[in-house]
Structure 1
Amino acid sequence: MNELLLQTIDNLPPLPETVTKLQQYIDSTGENVEVQRVVDIISKDPLLTGDLLRLANSPYYGFSREISTLNQVVSLLGISSVKNVAIANSLRSGFKIDVSPYGLDTQNFLGNSAKEADFISEWFRETDKKLSQLLAPCAMLLRLGMILFANTLIQSGKDKEFLAMLKESNFADISSVESEFCGLDHLSFLGFLFDYWKFDEVLIQTTAYITMPHAAADEVKKNAYALAIINKVFEPYQGGSPYNMHEAVALIKEAKIEGISFDMDRFLEILPAEARNNLNKQVENE
């Protein structure tokens, strides 16, 4: 295994105690899981409780009324969704974030990551709310691999070398440089991470096929296509470029051939202005 990848995996932190207890309870009881027991476990962690209430009232979910209790959160989102969101939230807030090895400003990076999650919510809120809610943890963690790779590159003293190679390629192909240094790109790594932290199988399979959605199983194919399209719009450096926007539209058309329908009108309506303008631009030959 690639040395930097192995180092990244070795440094992965355990989940917080409350989240681990929640996982163990839900996974061990199966269909016999009790809502009140889930609420009791979460309520022992005030920070997690506050985060879940905040997320439930965020645009991710688009509920028409305020959610004020944990019982409401669990009842409205469902037990599996609460578990997945609890894992995602604990991970998102549990890492030191410094993406300087990518030549990125950390605050801009975080802002762009938030836009990815908001876009998914806006795109599917009216036509497929279930999909929007299912993909929320994936959207929250879509760039987690970059954060972890960046930390490992800094710790190993290879951050400057990594950045120099990105600059040589004019930041045109981050995934190839990631693969050269770490053995795979950050999106491909995400499926491993979701498996490592024991997200639901549907999310593990969804994230495992972001880079090749056509190959995903039928039950997760729409999920994988949605994330692949979002990546083209918001990918660091190349997101929303003429090339990426043509790729995004091509993915939507490819999905239609596969029997998967996306709301193209809504997609175009909520695109960032620059990305929308780039749809009509000529793609330069490489």
Structure 2
Amino acid sequence: MHNLLVRTIENLPPLPETVVKLQSYVDSAGSEVRMQEVVNIISRDPLLTGELLRLANSPFYGFSREIVTIQQVVSLLGINNIKNAVIANSINSKLKVDMSPYGLNTQEFLASCSLESSFITNWLIEDDKQLAQILVPCSMLMRLGMILLAGALIEVKKDQEFLEALKESHFRNVALIENEFCGVDHISFLGFLFDHWKFDEVLIQSISYIPNPHAATENVQRNVYALAIANRVFEPYTGGTPYNMSMAKALFAEAKDKGIVYSYESFVASLPVKARENLNIPVTDFGEAGF
């Protein structure tokens, strides 16, 4: 692996002790995992308990009534969903973000990340609540790879050189330039990070195949196409442009050919205004459509 990435991973803050205990118990117990033990582990940590209740009552999960106990959370979401959500929330809370190497305003970038998470939930929650709940950790961390690569570039003082390379390409070849400087693009790096933190294999594959959803195995294709479509809507620099929206529609059609159907009406209704306006603009030239 590229030395820069090795250093980045080595410098990652450790997961909290309770999160590690929960992860270790669920993974080691396998089919013998007991819900009450999961509840007990979480309940010993008041901070984690509060965060998990807040998350369960957020729009991410779309429950019609207030969730007031950890027992309810675990019962409603299932043990694996809880484990994944706890890991994702812990990682999210520790992020230090500076997107200057990408030429992006950090606050606007974080606002876009928040919109992306909400969009995935709003689009899928009525049509396929189970899928929406499974994808919560992915939606929370979709741009984590960019955040960590930006930090690594700043640390080794390659941030300005990286930004100049992006400018020279008119911000069109982001993955190529990430590979040149870091040895990996941010989506592929995110897949590696999911593996590093021992997320479920389903989520690791769901992230890893976003650039090539047609290549994903059948058991994760529904997850992957949903994330690939959302990526076209919120992709940094080109998200929501006429070109990207035409690609999102093409992914809808490709998924349908494989027997994977989502609510297009809910998708359109959940789009940011500009992306919705660009949805039906004819695309004849990449330059005109994207920039």
TM-score of Structure 1 vs Structure 2, range by shorter chain = over 0.9
- Helix, strand or coil for the counterpart of 2:260? coil
Q: What do the CA deviations read for 1:218-271 (whole angstroms, capped 9, x no partner)?
A: 110010010000000001111001111111101110111111111111111221
Alignment partners' CA distance in 2, 1:188 and 1:244: 20
- The aligned residue for residue 65 of structure 2 is 65
2:268 matches 1:253:
no
Equivalent position amino acid for 1:152 in 2 = A
2:166 matches 1:166:
yes
Alignment partners' CA distance in 2, 1:158 and 1:130: 42
Alignment partners' CA distance in 2, 1:48 and 1:181: 37
- The aligned residue for residue 44 of structure 1 is 44
RMSD between superposed Cα atoms in Å? 1.2
Unaligned runs of 5+ in 1: none
Q: What do the CA deviations read for 1:163-199 (whole angstroms, capped 9, x no partner)?
A: 1111112222321211111111111111111111001
Counterparts of 1:13-52 in structure 2, within 5 Å, are: 13-52=13-52
Counterparts of 1:1-286 in structure 2, within 5 Å, are: 1-283=1-283, 284-286=285-287
Alignment partners' CA distance in 1, 2:186 and 2:77: 28
Equivalent position amino acid for 2:204 in 1 = I
Equivalent position amino acid for 2:124 in 1 = F
8 Å contact kept, 2:42–2:49: yes
8 Å contact kept, 2:243–2:286: no
After superposing the two structures, state which structure 1 stretch, 272-281 or 52-61, moved more: 272-281
Equivalent position amino acid for 2:11 in 1 = N
Q: TM-score, normalised by structure 2?
A: 0.95
Alignment partners' CA distance in 2, 1:101 and 1:191: 21
- Helix, strand or coil for the counterpart of 2:104? coil
Alignment partners' CA distance in 1, 2:98 and 2:48: 24
Alignment partners' CA distance in 2, 1:185 and 1:238: 16
Alignment partners' CA distance in 1, 2:58 and 2:64: 11
- Helix, strand or coil for the counterpart of 1:280? coil
Q: What do the CA deviations read for 1:7-42 (whole angstroms, capped 9, x no partner)?
A: 223323322111110011111112222222111111
Alignment partners' CA distance in 2, 1:270 and 1:207: 22
- Helix, strand or coil for the counterpart of 2:135? helix
Alignment partners' CA distance in 2, 1:280 and 1:198: 40
Deviation at 1:74, TM superposition (A): 0.7
- Helix, strand or coil for the counterpart of 1:81? helix
Alignment partners' CA distance in 1, 2:124 and 2:189: 26
Q: What do the CA deviations read for 1:81-101 (whole angstroms, capped 9, x no partner)?
A: 100000000111112111111
Alignment partners' CA distance in 1, 2:36 and 2:183: 44
Alignment partners' CA distance in 2, 1:85 and 1:139: 11
Unaligned runs of 5+ in 2: none
Q: TM-score, normalised by structure 1?
A: 0.97
Alignment partners' CA distance in 2, 1:153 and 1:103: 13
Equivalent position amino acid for 1:137 in 2 = P
